[in-house]
Structure 1
């Protein structure tokens, strides 16, 4: 499989979608527009390299998103902006090199964020701004040697577990 299923009639009420182990390499703006009721989305173990801005625009009910074990290199600033109910985001085992400022903006309900086993070398000072409900953050198994600013974790007032390794 190299594209997303698109039968509009059957997809409107789907609350859980699992697409794993495929050759899908890109999530574009219209890939998931026929799944407005999704609460759980599994896109792990694919070949995804790129997620276009607006790819998740109509997934207003999404609570859990698995993007682990792909080939994602960057997280655009607008990628997750409509996922205001998202509570868990799995992005471990990708090729992410940098977390930009505002990468997770508008994810105010996020409680668990897995970014371990990537290639992260730098984290923007405001990368985690607005994540005041975040309780669990994994940044281990990356290429971080230093944190450029002490303000990176400022505002994470509910954070209980931080897994971080500096090399």
Structure 2
């Protein structure tokens, strides 16, 4: 996890105890990192939720999040993340991904359409172009928020949409 913190520019940031294992219960992690310690007869813990919002992160999204195979919820909302979603993220098994309020851009990220475990996807950024038909591969999707993007086309019928606006900030 230290590699992820480093790529996000969080190492050394006050209020985060990067020298402590976030699953140990030690350090200042309780509101940002959630772990499940029920693996291998309650002897192994894995990070299942990461909430790193409002941290003024202004870098590209690191592909290293894929090294957290049990991660189910990732919230990187309201930072200044830029670029697009790494193609490696297609292997992640997230149920919730929130990237709202960043500066991510480009065409709709195809890596997301291979994340078939997604239930909630909040993607308010500056993506543009057509909404790909393969969004329908997200069969478990219950929430799809594409507001503030410059996307066009129709949402495939197997998806729901909370809100879609055509304004990119």
Establish whether TM, by shorter chain, passes 0.5: yes
For residue 18 of structure 1, what is the aligned residue in structure 2? 32
CA distance in 2, matches of 1:57, 1:67: 15
**Aligned counterparts, 1:125-144, within 5 A:** 125=132, 128=135, 130-142=137-149, 144=150
Q: CA-to-partner distance for each residue in 1:75-98, whole Å, 9 max, x for gaps? A: 2342423322x1111110001222
Unaligned 5+ segments in structure 2 are 1-8, 13-17, 34-44
Say if 1:13 and 1:63 are closer, same or farther in 2 by CA, change over 3 A. farther
Structure 1 position 43, deviation (Å): 1.5
In angstroms, what is the RMSD of aligned CA positions? Answer: 3.2
Higher strand share: 2
For residue 51 of structure 1, what is the aligned residue in structure 2? 61
Higher helix share: 2
Say if 1:105 and 1:119 are closer, same or farther in 2 by CA, change over 3 A. closer
CA distance in 1, matches of 2:71, 2:30: 9
For residue 80 of structure 2, what is the aligned residue in structure 1? 71
Does residue 104 of the first structure (1) align with residue 112 of the second (2)?
Answer: yes
Q: TM-score, normalised by structure 1?
A: 0.66
Q: Secondary structure at the match of 2:74?
A: strand
Does residue 38 of the first structure (1) align with residue 52 of the second (2)?
Answer: no
Larger Rg belongs to: 2
Q: Which moved more, 1:123-132 or 1:58-67?
A: 123-132
Say if 1:78 and 1:16 are closer, same or farther in 2 by CA, change over 3 A. farther
Structure 1 position 61, deviation (Å): 1.2
Q: TM-score, normalised by structure 2?
A: 0.65
